[in-house]
Amino acid sequence: MSSHDRPTIGIGMIGYSFMGQAHSHGWRNARSFFDPALMPELVVISGRDGAAASDVARRFGWRHVETDWRELIARDDVDLVDICTPGDTHAEIALAALAAGKHVLCEKPLANTVEEAIAMADAANRARADGIRSMVGFTYRRVPAITHARNLVRDGRIGEIRHVRAQYLQDWLTDPESPLTWRLRKDRAGSGALGDIGAHVIDLTQFITGEQLAGVSAITETFVKERPLSGAVHGLRAEVSEGRGQVTVDDAAVFVGRFTGGALATFEATRFATGRKNAIRLEINGSGGSIAFDFEDMNVLSFFDASAPATEAGFTRILVTEPEHPYVGGWWPAGHGLGYEHAFTHQAVDLLEAIAEGRDPEPSFADGLAIQRALAAVETSAASGAAWTPIELVAA
């Protein structure tokens, strides 16, 4: 079937900032590069600031703009609602979209609380009976080197997993004059570095190992307790404005954990790792080998095969840019490399294919709930002086 004859699916996106634009780019390129079974139509984008939403609509090719997300959900030409708003709105929007019979893609973390995530996972489960699909946007799973790592682990290439080492390091809050954005307010973001970036590495390690994080012992810290209420950020420097407000989330979280298969894990999520911009560092050691990854060199996966003769064994630096590698064949000739934004296209394509084939996409809202429980366990443990805190597991 040529792409002209493909059935279409109307996308309605709520939110237009960083994530809204990353997702817009993903939907556009899903059409152009991957020829999915369902062709996404960029029907409507919504945001309270109509002028800003219109600007994004013009730049990315959204046909219509709404300033009330309820109007977007009510439209007949919207089949899928993509939620790219701060966490405090996810539950309300997702529940309304599912009730209206729309497929849902929701940015991570799924919600701000476990209670909200339970309601969302329940609603998603009920909607499945009517063929309505939901997915949570843990996009980094779709970085080719990470999907390749998952495939190697799934194929038994590193054996039984003993150690999981995961860090997500950023530095954009190093300056104490950096303003108090919504990400620093618990009522809007749920938690700080923990939910924003720690959630990613919890998801990635569970995805790659195929196991669940079963319990944690954690410490968290808020290094800068008060910040200017508003102001612009320029790299690591911020312009100061009048008035200060309290930071109500963590700046950093460090925790140890145990996976369901017995592996011991260490996690670190921080926005204070001066000089580290978006360093997602993963190393997994198994009985038969290891894999290692750093997002700051995102086209590379390091792989150690313990079955090689001792005289030849060593970490192999695999350039994950061959057409045989996950997703890569959709893009450029071998060796040309991909970037941050490509994973958003892979996410869109995987969701479209799942909807077309009538199967559940991953990660599901139930997976999002499991991560929400892990985040809550980290906070509970940190509040009690790092006491060991088990995590309620999801039935496999």
1 vs 18 by CB, closer to ligand SOE: 18
Query: At its nearest, how many Å lie between ligand SOE and the CB of residue 19?
Result: 7
Per the CB < 8 A criterion, the answer to whether 292 and 204 are in contact is: no
Per-residue mark of binding to ligand SOE, 317-356 (x: CB under 6 A): ----------------------------------------
2/274 with CB nearer ligand SOE = 274
Residues of span 167-186 touching ligand SOE by CB under 6 A: 170
Q: How many CB atoms lie within 10 A of CB 76?
A: 6
29 vs 270, which CB is nearer to ligand SOE? 270
Q: Closer to ligand SOE at the Cβ: 87 or 361?
A: 87
Q: How far is the CB of 209 from ligand SOE (least distance, A)?
A: 21
In the complex, minimum distance from the CB of residue 208 to ligand SOE, in angstroms, rounded to a whole number: 17
Least separation in angstroms between residue 227's CB and ligand SOE is 16
Q: Find, among 262, 261, 297, the residue nearest to 282 by Cα.
A: 297
- C-alpha torsion sign, points 115, 370, 293, 272: positive
CA distance 322 to 308: 23
CB of 106 to ligand SOE, least distance (A): 13
SS3 content of the chain, % helix, strand, coil (to 5): 35, 25, 40
Of the candidates 174, 275, 272, the one whose C-alpha atom is nearest the C-alpha of residue 227 is 174
358: Cα separation from own chain's centroid: 23
Q: How far is the CB of 195 from ligand SOE (least distance, A)?
A: 9
Nearer to ligand SOE, 196 or 367 (CB): 196
Identity of the residue, 133 or 200, whose beta carbon is nearer to ligand SOE in the bound complex: 200
Of the two residues 116 and 203, which places its CB atom closer to ligand SOE in the complex?
203
Are 107 and 90 in contact by the 8 Å Cβ rule? The answer is: yes
Segment holding 141, helix H or strand E: none
Residue nearer to ligand SOE on the CB measure, 62 or 140:
140
Does residue 197 touch ligand SOE according to CB under 6 A? yes
Residue 197 CB, nearest approach to ligand SOE (Å): 5
How many of the other CB atoms lie within 10 Å of CB of 300?
A: 16
Q: In the range 81-140, which residues lie near ligand SOE by CB under 6 A? A: none
Binding status of residue 211 toward ligand SOE by CB under 6 A: no
Q: Report in angstroms how near the CB of residue 340 gets to ligand SOE at its nearest.
A: 7
Q: Which residue's beta carbon is nearest to the bound ligand SOE?
A: 196
Helix locations, the chain, DSSP H: 18-29, 50-60, 69-74, 90-99, 114-128, 144-154, 186-189, 193, 199-209, 342-357, 365-383
Strand partners, 281: 167, 294
Both tokens of 263, joined, read: 């592996």
- Provide the minimum distance between the beta carbon of 305 and ligand SOE in the complex, in angstroms, as a whole number: 31
CA–CA gap between residue 250 and residue 316 (Å, rounded): 37
Least Å distance between CB 76 and ligand SOE?
A: 32
- The answer to whether residues 82 and 46 touch, using CB atoms and an 8 Å cutoff, is no
Largest CA distance in the chain: 66
Distance CA 393, CA 395 (A): 6
Map the footprint of ligand SOE across residues 274-293, applying CB under 6 A: 278
Q: Closest CB to ligand SOE among 152 and 201?
A: 201
Secondary structure of residue 8 in the 3-state scheme = strand
Please count the residues of this chain forming the interface with ligand SOE, following the rule CB under 6 A: 5
Among 66, 171, 196, 211, binds ligand SOE (CB under 6 A): 196
For 311-343, b/e burial (b = at least 16 CB within 10 A) is: eeeeeeebebbeeebbbbebbeeeeeebeeebb
Which residues inside 13-52 make contact with ligand SOE, applying CB under 6 A?
A: 18
- In the bound state with ligand SOE, the residue whose beta carbon lies nearer, of 17 and 266, is 17
- Which residues lie near ligand SOE (CB under 6 A)? 18, 170, 196-197, 278
